[in-house]
Structure 1
Amino acid sequence: MKNLIHRREQRKVVGDKNAIIVRQFEHSDNPEVLRIFQDGLHEMIPDTAFRALKYHPESMSLYVIMTLVCLIATKSWCLTALVPIAVLCARYYYSRQIALGYLEIAKRTDMGDIEGCYMNTPDCCLWVAVQGDRVIGVVAAVSHLSGDGAVELKRMAVDRSCRRRGVGELLGQKVLEFASARGNPSVVLGTTSYSPAAHKLYQKLGFRCNGVTNGYTVPGARRLVLEWVFYWVRHHHYHLDMPKAKTNTHGQH
């Protein structure tokens, strides 16, 4: 069945080289998939280091206290002025360290064996968005660990040069189609992104945020005190209930 769908998707390419299609992952896609995934993680570094600050008043308060302590201890405005710069540098450093640690874990697990983790079981799949011969986006679906039959949307990433073309929406819809075809009751996802565009995309697809974990421990973090001081993120939990199959008067679906 997967091969039949794949052939149909491939036929859509003919006649329009600018068309964006979503098809199943092929072995030859691996380098571009890893590049897009890695670029997306690198974008998360300034996102969590700088943009996240306004969402964490507790961190801002801590940094203000650090600045005041420096002023009282040194009585030097020049040295005190360096504290905010040092804080931003530290936030960038630890955001980078954790992102790179997470990347290494991903390469040793699912992103290092995409075919084995996603393509050799009916419970999982990974798709790529393609324009012409170029891979411009990726998304995956797996059975959620909760065991309630939910599907988890994972590894969503779009090439930076191809944003705002509806690529993310096409990828998300493919996961919803996968869940609908399998009769899964819901689709879930989690994100630590602070980018408004990412949250607008999930909401456009029909997801609703049903919880936030403040101080989420990202895989790759070492749980050091300095990491806790300079890396503090929120993990947003999104949920979408799939439409239930209608039953006719004879009790048949």
Structure 2
Amino acid sequence: MAEVQIRRYEDEDEEDVKDLFTLGMSEHVPSSCLHVLKQPHVQMLLACVFCALLASSKSFLLPILAVTLLLAAGRQGVNYVFSRYIQTSLSLDLKNIRQSYLEKPNSCFWVAESQGRVVGMVACLPAEKSKGCLELKRMSVKHFHRGQGIAKALCLTVSDFAREQGYPAVVLYTSIVQIAAQKLYEHVGYKKVREFVVPELIAKIMNFTLIEYSVAVKEHVMNLM
């Protein structure tokens, strides 16, 4: 945490924040592809295509080519899901961060700054699905600044804000492929509440699961002090 300052978002941070968000989300494409390949129905499909073409063509070249094309199509599908999510986020709450987080009650947006550069961020607002709770959102730390306690400090910042605003708990959502994020949240005291598959068709095919976490504010602040 040396030489890192956590402060409220300012308008001149906009491009840095959007770049940090885009890069952070794009990092999950490879792990999401591996997650898809681990699904039994995907493995069954690839095996059936390979065996069917091998039996009909009596050649290894055609089935290998077909499976390669299916894998490439799957990669494009995962890229599409993440690209659409990024673009949707940039056109919604991240389009006008000040309006989305700083001009609304019980909401805020912070950045972590090191040597004049934005290296991390986090936001919060009243949770829509968990009434009476605050929701932690947009947590991200640049790759080369991870492991320095920045994410933990950002979590504490949100918990302090929740306590000041009178919220008893903070909730957040992360995905099944964000293993490092899961470890972080559990390390700082968040408890897993539930897992659920995103309802969109392509997400169901990918078995793309979201995880809901929650932590009591008073207990969290004391544990992180």
Pair in the same fold by TM > 0.5: yes
Partner of residue 103 from structure 2, selected from 108, 120, 144? 120
Deviation at residue 52 of structure 1 after TM alignment? 4.8
Runs of 4+ in 1 over 6 A off after TM superposition: none
Partner of residue 23 from structure 2, selected from 29, 39, 58? 39
SS of residue paired to 1:188? strand
Structure 1 stretches lacking a partner, 5+ long: 1-15, 245-253
Partner of residue 156 from structure 1, selected from 133, 139, 153? 139
Q: For 2:64, give the aligned amino acid.
A: A
Q: In 2 relative to 1, CA 176–84 (structure 1 residues): closer, same or farther, beyond 3 Å?
A: farther
Q: For 2:31, give the aligned amino acid.
A: D
CA distance in 1, matches of 2:149, 2:43: 36
Q: Deviations over 1:178-218 (max 9, x none)?
A: 1122221211111125142211101012111121113x146
**What is the aligned-residue RMSD (CA, Å)?**
2.2
Determine the structure 2 residue equivalent to 1:50. Answer: 34
Q: In 2 relative to 1, CA 195–109 (structure 1 residues): closer, same or farther, beyond 3 Å?
A: closer
CA distance in 2, matches of 1:154, 1:108: 16
Map 1:2-41; keep pairs closer than 5 Å.
18-41=2-25
CA distance in 2, matches of 1:74, 1:240: 58
CA distance in 2, matches of 1:232, 1:82: 25
Partner of residue 216 from structure 2, selected from 226, 229, 241? 241
Q: In 2 relative to 1, CA 52–171 (structure 1 residues): closer, same or farther, beyond 3 Å?
A: farther
Q: For 1:99, give the aligned amino acid.
A: F
Structure 2 stretches lacking a partner, 5+ long: 220-225
Question: Are 1:38 and 1:103, in contact at CA under 8 Å, matched by a contact in 2?
Answer: yes
CA distance in 2, matches of 1:68, 1:185: 56
Determine the structure 2 residue equivalent to 1:3. Answer: none
Deviation at residue 91 of structure 1 after TM alignment? 2.1
Deviation at residue 134 of structure 1 after TM alignment? 0.8
CA distance in 2, matches of 1:181, 1:207: 19
Question: Are 2:36 and 2:42, in contact at CA under 8 Å, matched by a contact in 1?
Answer: no
Please state if 1:97 is matched with 2:72. Answer: no
SS of residue paired to 1:135? strand
CA distance in 2, matches of 1:20, 1:193: 29
- Structure number with larger C-alpha Rg: 1
Deviation at residue 86 of structure 1 after TM alignment? 2.6
Determine the structure 1 residue equivalent to 2:207. Answer: 232
Determine the structure 2 residue equivalent to 1:189. Answer: 172
Q: For 2:149, give the aligned amino acid.
A: G
CA distance in 1, matches of 2:93, 2:119: 19
Query: Percent identity among equivalent residues?
Result: 27
SS of residue paired to 1:153? strand
Please state if 1:144 is matched with 2:127. Answer: yes
CA distance in 2, matches of 1:238, 1:73: 50
Deviation at residue 169 of structure 1 after TM alignment? 1.2
Deviation at residue 38 of structure 1 after TM alignment? 0.7
Q: In 2 relative to 1, CA 59–186 (structure 1 residues): closer, same or farther, beyond 3 Å?
A: farther
Question: Are 1:49 and 1:88, in contact at CA under 8 Å, matched by a contact in 2?
Answer: no
Determine the structure 1 residue equivalent to 2:222. Answer: none
* TM-score between both structures, scaled by the size of structure 2: 0.87
Q: In 2 relative to 1, CA 151–69 (structure 1 residues): closer, same or farther, beyond 3 Å?
A: farther
